Amino acid sequence: MEKRSRFNVKGRGKEVKNLKDYFTLVITIHERKHTLETIQKHYSDAPFNIIYSDSSREKTNLYLREGDTYLYFKNELYYKKMKKTLDLVNTPFVAEICDDMLLNLQSVVECVDFLDKNKDYVVCDGLYSEKYKNISNRILNIDQNNLSKLQRVEFFTRVNIWHALNHAVVRTKTLKTIYNFVANDPNLYPIRMFDKIWSYISFFEGRHKKLNIRYCDYVPTVRILNDARIKYPTLLQKNLLFSQIRKDQQKLLSLSKFLTLYGYGDEESFLFTQNLFRKNFE
């Protein structure tokens, strides 16, 4: 017999919960406005409220449904605008996505339902587009119950999964913990480290679940500034960046501090972080 979600997707009936009371979607915008018509059309019937968090050079004209919000932070750094945006999120679950991502609405409902029923889990998503198919399959085949917290962190970073975790449905408390941690330590800049930090902290907040459902697709796009494409770092350039961080004792100390929040000693936290960078980027 098919399992039914406890959430009222279509907004009818009193026997199930209203998703708007439980989930908020944050869509971050930065100089990629040509995707927004597709984005807004996709989410026009979404059974939850949306917050648009925009850091572009100029404000964006958007259609806002009842309950939706538009915030503008001109040229603001990503983690700073997200920290401010999360101050307005009052639902227990949230997802932050970029301005080129199309979440499957039914999959969002299933992820929220799973987290609501399983209190020891903090993150839930599903399968991403073909680009990440092999990674998703590897995650589905791993029994996380047999891994310690440190082993889970090491496994997920080894398979380069951190890019997906920070767009999953997550407990709002966990997401606020992550952004508060990053915002309070300037040594954790540049922002290209943030996906890795997100993965680290979320694993110590609780368990992760990847459902065998289609979760996210993408709008083909590039970011545009002054009619020129922004050049993002290649994998080689990122590895060089992380290699430099590995040699920077102060950044490693800053990155390891999150472990002390969960009862690990200073020396143990630093050695684990150092070894993890050595294994991945040497």
pLDDT tens for residues 118-163? 999 999 988 887 655 555 555 555 555 566 666 665 555 554 544 5
Which residue stretches of the chain have pLDDT < 50? 1-2, 11-15, 159, 161-162, 191, 222-233, 281-282
Contacts 24+ apart (CB under 8 A), 241-250: 241/190, 241/192, 241/193, 242/193, 242/196, 242/277, 242/280, 242/281, 243/281, 243/282, 245/193, 245/277, 246/274, 246/277, 246/278, 246/281, 246/282, 250/187
pLDDT > 90 in the chain, percent:
33
Q: For position 33, what pLDDT does the model report?
A: 81
For residue 234, the one-letter residue type is T
Q: Are 123 and 209 in contact (CB under 8 A)?
A: yes
How far apart are alpha carbons 100 and 137 in whole angstroms?
23
The sign one gets for the Cα dihedral 148, 152, 158, 159 is positive
Q: For position 178, what pLDDT does the model report?
A: 83
Q: For position 65, what pLDDT does the model report?
A: 95
Residue whose structure tokens are 């017999």: 1
Between vectors from CA 49 to CA 44 and to CA 55, what angle results, nearest 5°?
A: 90
How far apart are alpha carbons 13 and 97 in whole angstroms?
29
Q: Are 104 and 216 in contact (CB under 8 A)?
A: yes
Q: For position 31, what pLDDT does the model report?
A: 85
Q: For position 281, what pLDDT does the model report?
A: 46
Q: For position 27, what pLDDT does the model report?
A: 97
Q: For position 100, what pLDDT does the model report?
A: 87
How far apart are alpha carbons 242 and 210 in whole angstroms?
27
How far apart are alpha carbons 140 and 159 in whole angstroms?
12
